[in-house]
Amino acid sequence: MPERKTLSVIIPAFNVEKYLAEGLDSLLASEGIDEAELIIIDDGSFDKTGEIADKYASDHRNIRVIHKENEGPSAARNTGLAEASGTYVFFFDSDDMVVPELFSKVIELTKSASDDMLLWDSELLYETHNLLAPKHRDYFAHSGLEKVERTYTGKGILETQLRNTGDFVATIWLGAYRREFLMSNELFFEKDLIHEDELLLPRIFITAKSVHYIPEKIYIYRIRPGSIM
């Protein structure tokens, strides 16, 4: 049985040899990451993704790799969730990055938090120019919420965003989730869907009694050719 952690980072990876190391390096640069576990699910990659993942696992005791046949990101995330030992789980996309000094705050918060969900904002990175996107930089930044750190109910998050902007952000990597909350409410990813988090996130918000919002752009979402997006 894996040692109990406060945070498990679940990383589905399929043919991302170009990006995986950069994403892992951003996580590993975060203070306190040694106290978290990183679970890479190699989803049947046929490039060097699996080799890169195995090399990182051999160099870092808190990284482990699961190699499986290709079933898509939903099945890979569900596999990681089942294997996770952390109190909280964070679903990280293998071609993205975090801001290490900000993600360190999340790691520290998981040691004392009891909320069903921790929520944060994201910056966009356009691969073509390797620049942060000025035009749409607040697209994943919960613009309908007041930029102060506070706790909402899940329904309160939805109501506030819909009232203020007419929309809400439904993206799985904008938060960490208490594992027992997901498991006990059977909040899993539906297989064989594209943008599967758009189905799951409303269910999470409706069910969550406590969502702690951190108004920081902790995540860097990469827009690139060839991705599902």
For 208, phi then psi, to 5°, come to -70, 130
- Using DSSP, state whether 93 is helix, strand or coil: coil
How do residues 204-216 score in pLDDT, each as one tens digit? Answer: 999 999 999 999 9
DSSP codes of every residue in 126-178: ETTTTEE-STTTTTTS-TTS-SS-EEE-HHHHHHHHHHHHS-----GGGEEEE
Angle formed by the axes of helices 197-207 and 154-165, nearest 10°: 120
Distance of CA 123 to the CA centre of its chain: 14
Q: Please tell me the predicted confidence (pLDDT) of residue 229.
A: 43
Q: What is the mean pLDDT of residues 150-157?
A: 96
pLDDT band at 64 (very low <50, low <70, confident <90, very high): very high
How do residues 172-189 score in pLDDT, each as one tens digit? Answer: 999 999 999 999 999 999
Give the torsion sign (CA, 56, 58, 60, 63): positive
**DSSP strand pairing (175-178 vs 5-13):** unpaired
How do residues 5-59 score in pLDDT, each as one tens digit? Answer: 899 999 999 999 999 999 999 999 999 999 999 999 999 999 999 999 999 999 9
- Using DSSP, state whether 197 is helix, strand or coil: helix
- Whole-Å CA distances, 97 to 163, 176, 204, 223: 31, 15, 23, 12
For 20, phi then psi, to 5°, come to -60, -45
The CA distance from 8 to 112, in Å, is 15
Confirm if 57 and 64 have CB atoms less than 8 A apart.
yes
pTM of the model: 0.91
For 221, phi then psi, to 5°, come to -95, 120
> Quick one: which of 17, 18, 65 has its CA closest to 37?
65
Residues in the chain: 229
The CA distance from 74 to 12, in Å, is 9
Average pLDDT, the chain: 90
